[in-house]
């Protein structure tokens, strides 16, 4: 196996192992230096692989796992009762350095719980956060958390802000602007957690720019937008739903008459690119930040292309050495906090 091997939870997701194997076969062709480990039931996977005789088996192995975590399984159940689940075996392979990253399209809550349990978090991180990039008028912003942590206190939000800062720096933004998502920009606005987090962030040694509202996110007022997983998930999914609705309504206009069809030939490709761009988590997966290892959650309803994009995202994070640099960056920020009398 190469130095870049990614374990794929072959049993997770809404579409089952067949589409996952298809994505893996395509990835191996387009990424000649990448190796993959399909984690799941060997007989089933070998059977599916028969449809891909050209696949380079020196770069594709199967890691056996007998159990499957269902999309509706409680995280606690997944943790306690399924020791040989594909998701867990994949994470153990990462922990044991057999692979360098894990990609799963399975149950998000279970993936988070198992990741924390098997891999552990980086020093200073109580909870990993789920992050993805959203398009804005000025480029992209990193939004976290996207739903892995529905309830967050000020300390969690503070840690997310630090992680988001370092992750944005790794992606080349020297001094990322960090904002807290809120219902107004004045100091008095918001719930207690958000107001307390604002106080923590003012002395955190990062470029904290204050509160941002939902519309400000898309205006590009920040490079990193921090919120609890409830608000983040609502923002992300509502945006996906709205982008789809707008796209369909406009497309419908381009079928009414000859001029409209001509216009549609120009407008529709633009529109479709935009829709893909507006569904980053669906199309590219979301990262779990703050773990001792690279874990990418591919959208459960991601098709073959989405899963491929998630695998390539994992590949990029291996090349960036993300967990290691995140750990170093966090340690540097947290040491400033200690010297300023923050939480020890």
Sites of contact with a copy of itself (CB under 8 A): 72, 74, 109, 135-137, 147, 150-151, 181, 183-184, 186, 188, 190-192, 213-219, 227, 229-231, 233-246, 248-250, 253-254, 259-260, 262-267, 270-271, 274, 278
Q: Least distance to a copy of itself from the beta carbon of 250, Å?
A: 6
Containing 37, the helix (H) or strand (E) segment is strand 35-40
Q: Provide the sign of the torsion angle of the four alpha carbons 56, 318, 105, 62, taken in this order.
A: positive
Q: Least distance to a copy of itself from the beta carbon of 65, Å?
A: 23
Whole-angstrom distance, CA of residue 50 vs CA of residue 161: 46
Pick between residue 68 and residue 93 the one whose CB is nearest to a copy of itself: 68
Q: Least distance to a copy of itself from the beta carbon of 145, Å?
A: 10
Pick between residue 97 and residue 192 the one whose CB is nearest to a copy of itself: 192
Pick between residue 37 and residue 78 the one whose CB is nearest to a copy of itself: 78
Whole-angstrom distance, CA of residue 78 vs CA of residue 256: 51
What b/e sequence results for 136-156 when a residue is b if at least 16 CB atoms lie within 10 Å of its CB, and e otherwise? beeebbbbbbbbbbeebebeb
Give the CA count within 13 Å in the CB-facing half-sphere of 226: 35
Pick between residue 143 and residue 166 the one whose CB is nearest to a copy of itself: 143
Q: Least distance to a copy of itself from the beta carbon of 278, Å?
A: 7
Pick between residue 22 and residue 284 the one whose CB is nearest to a copy of itself: 284
Pick between residue 161 and residue 294 the one whose CB is nearest to a copy of itself: 161
Cβ atoms of 283 and 301 closer than 8 Å:
no
Helix runs in 4-150, H state only: 17-30, 42-49, 75-81, 86-95, 108-119
**Residue of 133, 151, 152, 154 whose CA lies nearest to 142:** 133
Q: Least distance to a copy of itself from the beta carbon of 70, Å?
A: 10
Q: Least distance to a copy of itself from the beta carbon of 306, Å?
A: 15
């Amino acid at each position: 196996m190469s130095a870049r091997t990614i374990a794929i939870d072959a049993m997770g997701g809404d579409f089952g192992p067949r589409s996952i194997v298809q994505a893996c076969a395509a990835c191996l062709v387009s990424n000649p230096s990448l190796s993959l480990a399909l984690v799941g039931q060997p007989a089933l996977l070998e059977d599916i692989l028969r449809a891909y005789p050209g696949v380079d088996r020196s770069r594709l192995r199967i890691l056996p796992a007998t159990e499957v975590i269902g999309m509706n399984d409680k995280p606690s159940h997944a943790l306690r009762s399924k020791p040989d689940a594909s998701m867990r075996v994949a994470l153990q392979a990462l922990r044991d350095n057999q692979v360098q990253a894990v990609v799963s399209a399975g149950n998000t809550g279970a993936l988070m719980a198992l990741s924390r349990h098997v891999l552990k978090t980086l020093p200073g991180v109580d909870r990993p956060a789920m992050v993805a990039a959203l398009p804005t008028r000025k480029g992209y912003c990193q939004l976290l958390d996207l739903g892995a942590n529905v309830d967050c206190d000020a300390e969690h939000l503070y840690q997310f802000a630090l992680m988001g800062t370092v992750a944005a720096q790794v992606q080349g933004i020297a001094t990322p602007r960090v904002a807290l998502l809120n219902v107004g920009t004045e100091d008095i606005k918001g719930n207690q957690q958000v107001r307390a987090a604002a106080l923590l962030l003012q002395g955190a040694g990062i470029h904290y720019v204050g509160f941002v509202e939902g519309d400000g996110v898309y205006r590009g007022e920040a490079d990193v937008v921090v919120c609890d997983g409830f608000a983040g998930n609502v923002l992300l999914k509502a945006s996906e739903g709205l982008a789809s609705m707008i796209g369909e309504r406009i497309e419908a206009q381009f079928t009414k008459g000859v001029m409209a069809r001509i216009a549609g030939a120009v407008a529709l490709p633009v529109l479709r690119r935009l829709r893909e761009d507006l569904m980053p988590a669906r199309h590219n997966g979301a990262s779990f930040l703050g773990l001792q290892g690279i874990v990418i959650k591919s959208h459960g309803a991601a098709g073959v292309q989405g899963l491929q994009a998630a695998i390539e995202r994992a590949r990029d994070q291996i090349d960036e050495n993300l967990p290691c640099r995140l750990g170093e960056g966090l340690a540097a920020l947290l040491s400033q906090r200690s010297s300023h009398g923050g939480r020890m």
